Structure 1
Amino acid sequence: MKNRQVLNNGMTLIELMIVIAILGIISAIAIPAYTGYVTSARAQECQQEVASLALAQEEFFLEQRTYFEGGSTGALETNSQGLWSPSEANVNNRNCSYVIVAGTTGIATSYQITATGINNLAGKGTIATKTKL
């Protein structure tokens, strides 16, 4: 009798389907988790910008004895007289739009900074606020 050797080169269709099913399960878990991490990081970035704006407000107040206000990134950058500029990630309002409302009296002694989610954070509403009374 002849000895026949069976060569097993490659995978069977069943093995391939099992690998595809495992990859599908892993991606079904990993993609939503990753998306959540990215959204959380973007919101954290907006909170850091609000803190940066608050520091710029205090420095501006020390020099001018009033607080600045503005309704867009460009206006805030101009009104702060160079004390604040947006981080690279927030140039052109990529994740949040920032609004500062200063006190209504002649010399503003209070302010409120509000960061609202846009683009990737749209629908998240107000991400962060900072108020000084």
Structure 2
Amino acid sequence: MGRPLRTIRGCGGITLIELMIAIAIIATVAAIALPAYRDYVETAAVGVLAAEIATMEPFQQDTRLRTGSYGIGTWDFATDDTSLTDATGWAPRNPDGATYVVLADEAGYRVTATDPAGRSVCRIMPARRPC
């Protein structure tokens, strides 16, 4: 009973300063990573729209061979406007709510694709040039 209680140093856990440093490091990494992640998401969404526009090309070429002109119209899932499908037979592979509007002349056609978040891609086809 006469033995004094001894504390073991080094096993007491972490201090408040150490916790604050760890939180500061995590916040710094998040501040750097979040904008990069947002840019990645933006780039991916625009890429999906551009890929869908590219799938339209064989349908437009077929329409031009059959009728002498490119098909025009709109494909809008929200309003059930499928005049583009009626004109060319094309529909998006993955109807994710994006709207596609096609205008045409003798030289080619212009496709504007807009997703529900408001991101938009415009291409002059068949050259695939940005508008």
Distance 2:69 2:124 in 1: 17
Structure 2 counterpart of 1:31? 34
Residue 66 of structure 2, aligned match among 60, 63, 66: 63
After superposition, the C-alpha distances for 1:1-46 in whole angstroms (9 at most, x for unaligned) are 8572325243211111111111100000111100001101111111
Distance 1:13 1:53 in 2: 60
Structure 1 counterpart of 2:123? 129
Specify the SS of the correspondent of 2:73. Answer: coil
Structure 1 counterpart of 2:91? 85
Structure 2 counterpart of 1:5? 7
RMSD over aligned CA atoms reads 2.6
TM-score, normalised relative to structure 1: 0.72
Q: Is the 8 A contact 2:70 2:108 kept in 1?
A: yes
Q: CA shift at 1:116, angstroms?
A: 4.3
Structure 2: which 5+ residue stretches go unaligned?
A: 77-81
Distance 1:114 1:72 in 2: 11
Q: Is the 8 A contact 1:67 1:110 kept in 2?
A: no
Q: Is the 8 A contact 2:102 2:112 kept in 1?
A: no
After superposition, the C-alpha distances for 1:62-91 in whole angstroms (9 at most, x for unaligned) are 33333211033422223223xx22131x43
Distance 2:4 2:115 in 1: 74
Name the one with the larger strand percent: 2
Structure 1: which 5+ residue stretches go unaligned?
A: 104-108
Structure 1: which amino acid aligns with 2:108? Y
Number of residue pairs aligned between Structure 1 and Structure 2 = 119
Distance 2:88 2:41 in 1: 30
Whose RCO is larger (CA < 8 A, sep 6+)?
Answer: 1
Specify the SS of the correspondent of 2:8. Answer: coil
